[in-house]
Structure 1
């Protein structure tokens, strides 16, 4: 596995931890200011996870085409 691919996978794991933290806040009793910020951060983090997933898929495809 390439160093680049491992870095992407590590970044994905970290972003999932962040997303889980925001989800816990959203699941807690409602506090408007906290919920709004957490909702926005949750969505931003999920978009980033999706982008990392595409980057991982691209790396895997590139590795498959080389060998």
Structure 2
């Protein structure tokens, strides 16, 4: 898909819209708690997930 955006075949806004819709459909049928858990995992994916983010926050608070 990124090649299509680079070549101008696909508009970047269209790709963003597709990704948003794909995410929304992945949450169909989940409870509110499950949706929040999934959202947190996606947000903290770069630091290794919610557990690592929580551990980092605890360590950071101990230093203060």
- TM-score, structure 2 as length reference: 0.33
- Compare the two structures and name the one with the higher helix fraction: 1
